[in-house]
Amino acid sequence: MPRGGNGHRDGKGASDQDDETGGIRTMRAFWFAAAAALLTCSALAQEREYRAFWAEGFNAGIHSREQIDRMIQRLTEAHCNGLWQQVRKRGDAHYRSTYEIWARENPQHFDALAYLLEKAHAASPKIHVHAWINTCAVGGDTRPGHILVEHPEYTSISDEGVAFDNEAMKIDPAHPGANDWTFRVYLDVARHYPVDGIHFDFVRYGHPRWGFNPVSVALFNQATGRTGKPAWDDPEFQQWRRDAVTALVRKVYAHTKAIAPDIAVSAATIAWGNGPGSYDEYLTSPPYCRVYQDWAGWMREGILDINCPMLYFSNTRYREFWLNWIAFAKDHKYDRQLVIGQGIWLNSIPDTLQQIQDSRAPSAKGNRADGILLYSYAGTNRAEDGSEQQYNPDLYRALSQPGPYGDPPFATPVEAPPLKPPSGGIVKGFVLTDPWLAPMVRAEVSLWDGRERRQTVTDVTGFYAFIDVPPGRYTLTISPKPFRDQTSQIIIAREGDVVTHHVFPGTASNRISYPWMVVAGNDRCDGVVYLWDAKTGQGRRVPVRPDTPLPFQPGDIVAVSYPGGGLPPVIRLIDISAQWGRRLPRPELAVTPAAKLHSPEWPTGRPVCMEGRVERLTPDGFMLRDGSGTVEVSGRYLKRDFRFSASPGERVRVRGVVDKESGLMVTPFDHQAVEELHDGG
């Protein structure tokens, strides 16, 4: 019997009338309270929140169109609005990458990310897709082109020289080459795909004794004035490694917001052991001290939009740990978003539903999460016999449909919440020196508004950034010892502004030239890049040094240094254009007649669009004829990498770059830059 009934009987008063009247008043109050509670629950159910799954790339999910169709159907029926899909597992790609090899599971080179985005964004409500990219953990693939096959010197090793840390082979983020490669992988996705987010995972070291890459140790000694090999538990060297991880996150975040501010940057963060009861306890916790991942610091600085702590705890065995971690995470959002990661493969379906309630509940301080992220789409629950269940329809159904597990947590579809708007701008740049454009590591950088001074240092690639800079005027001072300080005036006009300021101390002004935009990359142009400066209308064809680790691609902003002495020029990536890529369309180009290309107005490096018919094939491509003349179109890399072929008489549109240094020629931007046209259209 309900407690209210017992209470009424035990509390009868002087007369039946008084009791009846009191009972009526009590029942009215009860129903008013119940109605209010129902309205509150209904309102909460309608609030926008993330309801999402992590989906790994190892299991079935994105290996074919059929798998993607099935996954989107399941998520839609479960009333989910988000998917954190793994597209880089171990230095491979389930998308068309500029830098990395295709995943083994994808021998047909199916662009799974493109198809997934098409289907997910067409769902109702829209399913937001966050590209899950493993950051440091890349081991397990020995094919040519893999990052550790091409660059074993990027590997993180222990103080005893061991590479495998009982988890995975990893790159060391304190190695400049590893940092640059990984940074470019993230931005490659952000600039070419309409993703809703990019997602860090394994953005950390694997063990407190790892991180002794020789280049990292040498840079540490250079920055601190020390010699020899530090102890693994040396506090200064621990902070060096922690700073290296943070610097990579900051670099990706700042550049992502510069080219696509609507992309959410998130991270799967560590939550091992019992959750901390305070920030001071967090500073002794495993994420901070064991794997050098300061995710609370990232939230405070503002270099994550969404924190996705991996709170993988059995609800029956480690409920206290679970509750302590979710409370700490809710109380340390710093006006960013928090999506609670639940390890559903460890729990029964009822326990998963209980943890969803916990995730939604406010902390003791009244702070809430912004959604739920279930790990994983494939590993759905733990059965009564302790075995892991995969793709269990009961779990998907229990999320949205009433049944044996009671009322569903996702009873009504809702939209995902919008990103928090920026509370300030970003100031970023590189500090590079000498004819080789070498990064200046740990150069001091300060930002002063007349009242408050913010300070940072450059990372191992010479990069610095200030995040959430309020609108106003600032003095930016860079102290690149042993060179003199360089001071500039910076203005942040409004929230969301990004100001980029590079300095090149110690480099002769006549030896360096910047900024140039790459309009055709060296991986497609036989070892040269074509550069264009839209402000001056000048272009260049520059050979790339053979030891350059990664190709340059259209939209890269570079600096070029000429060391002299007959040495080839040095090209360094310093930014990325916000006007180039599949996500951010190339600048519109009017069709230009072939005859005009002979004029000085069309120098080497200038982007061009042409239409005409294939007159004949050449060893490297084909001759294109329009009504005014002919021009050769280079197609060597198209034939080599994409099996491109053209037939005489075909009508085509070509978008590319003019090259007059090899005879008059047009080099296509990429494999999508040659389109077959049908007569009349």
Q: How far is CA 593 from the centre of its chain?
A: 41
pLDDT (0 to 100) of residue 27: 28
pLDDT (0 to 100) of residue 680: 52
Q: Is there a contact between 557 and 517 (Cβ–Cβ < 8 Å)?
A: yes
- As a whole number of angstroms, the distance between CA 485 and CA 478 comes to 6
- CA–CA distances in Å: residue 319 to residues 187, 261, 307, 313: 38, 38, 21, 7
Q: Name which residue leads in pLDDT, 659 or 434.
A: 659
CATH topology of domain 594-677: OB fold (Dihydrolipoamide Acetyltransferase, E2P) (2.40.50)
Amino acid at 587: P
Q: Share the mean pLDDT of the chain.
A: 89
User: Residue range 559-587: average pLDDT?
Assistant: 79
Can you give the residue ranges of every domain in the chain?
Answer: 3-45, 47-217+244-400, 441-500, 594-677
228-268 pLDDT, tens per residue? 999 999 999 999 999 999 999 999 999 999 999 999 999 99
User: Residue range 88-114: average pLDDT?
Assistant: 96
Q: Terminal CA-to-CA distance of the chain, rounded, Å?
A: 77
pLDDT (0 to 100) of residue 586: 56
- Please classify residue 492 by burial: count the beta carbons closer than 10 Å to its beta carbon, then call 0-12 exposed, 13-18 middle and 19+ buried: buried
453-462 pLDDT, tens per residue? 999 999 999 9
Report pTM: 0.89
Q: Name which residue leads in pLDDT, 67 or 535.
A: 67
Tell me which residue has tokens 């479960």: 78
- CA–CA distances in Å: residue 129 to residues 266, 443, 582: 12, 37, 16
Exposure on the CB side of residue 243, measured as CA atoms within 13 A: 20
- As a whole number of angstroms, the distance between CA 99 and CA 116 comes to 21
In the predicted model, is pLDDT for residue 59 greater than 60? Answer: yes
pLDDT (0 to 100) of residue 423: 93
- As a whole number of angstroms, the distance between CA 322 and CA 272 comes to 10
- As a whole number of angstroms, the distance between CA 285 and CA 294 comes to 10
- List, in sequence order, every residue forming a beta bridge with 528; answer none if it has no partner: 543
Tell me which residue has tokens 């510069």: 258
User: Residue range 314-318: average pLDDT?
Assistant: 97
pLDDT (0 to 100) of residue 275: 98
Q: Name which residue leads in pLDDT, 234 or 644.
A: 234
User: Residue range 185-192: average pLDDT?
Assistant: 96
The pairing of strands 472-479 and 486-492 is antiparallel
In the predicted model, is pLDDT for residue 612 greater than 70? Answer: yes
In the predicted model, is pLDDT for residue 18 greater than 70? Answer: no
pLDDT (0 to 100) of residue 40: 36
In the predicted model, is pLDDT for residue 446 greater than 70? Answer: yes
Is-same-fold flag (47-217+244-400; 594-677)? no
For 523-583, what is the HEC assignment?
Answer: CCCCCEEEEEECCCCEEEEEECCCCCCCCCCCCEEEEEECCCCCCCCEEEEEEECCCCCCC
pLDDT (0 to 100) of residue 19: 31
Q: Is 223 helix (H, G, I), strand (E, B) or coil?
A: helix
% of the chain beyond a pLDDT of 90: 74
Q: How far is CA 530 from the centre of its chain?
A: 28
The pairing of strands 340-343 and 306-311 is parallel
124-137 pLDDT, tens per residue? 999 999 999 999 99
Six-digit token string for 448 = 């002063």
pLDDT (0 to 100) of residue 550: 87
In the predicted model, is pLDDT for residue 543 greater than 80? Answer: yes
464-499 pLDDT, tens per residue? 999 999 999 999 999 999 999 999 999 999 999 999
In the predicted model, is pLDDT for residue 4 greater than 80? Answer: no
Q: Name which residue leads in pLDDT, 416 or 510.
A: 416
CATH number of 47-217+244-400: 3.20.20.80
Q: Is there a contact between 304 and 249 (Cβ–Cβ < 8 Å)?
A: yes
Local confidence band at 642 (pLDDT 50, 70, 90 cut-offs): low
Q: Is there a contact between 117 and 129 (Cβ–Cβ < 8 Å)?
A: yes
398-445 pLDDT, tens per residue? 999 999 999 999 999 999 999 999 999 999 999 999 888 999 999 999
Q: Name which residue leads in pLDDT, 663 or 572.
A: 572
Lowest mean pLDDT among 361-375, 377-391, 572-586, 591-605: 572-586
Taking Cα atoms as reference points, which of 399, 354, 404 lies closest to residue 380?
399
pLDDT (0 to 100) of residue 675: 83
DSSP string computed for 583-635: SSPPPP--B--GGGGGSTTS-TT-EEEEEEEEEEEETTEEEEE-SS-EEEEE-
Q: Is there a contact between 270 and 296 (Cβ–Cβ < 8 Å)?
A: no
pLDDT (0 to 100) of residue 322: 98
Local confidence band at 20 (pLDDT 50, 70, 90 cut-offs): very low
Q: Name which residue leads in pLDDT, 603 or 11.
A: 603
In the predicted model, is pLDDT for residue 220 greater than 50? Answer: yes
Sequence-distant (≥ 6) Cβ neighbours of residue 77 within 8 angstroms: 396, 397, 400
In the predicted model, is pLDDT for residue 278 greater than 80? Answer: yes
User: Residue range 328-339: average pLDDT?
Assistant: 98
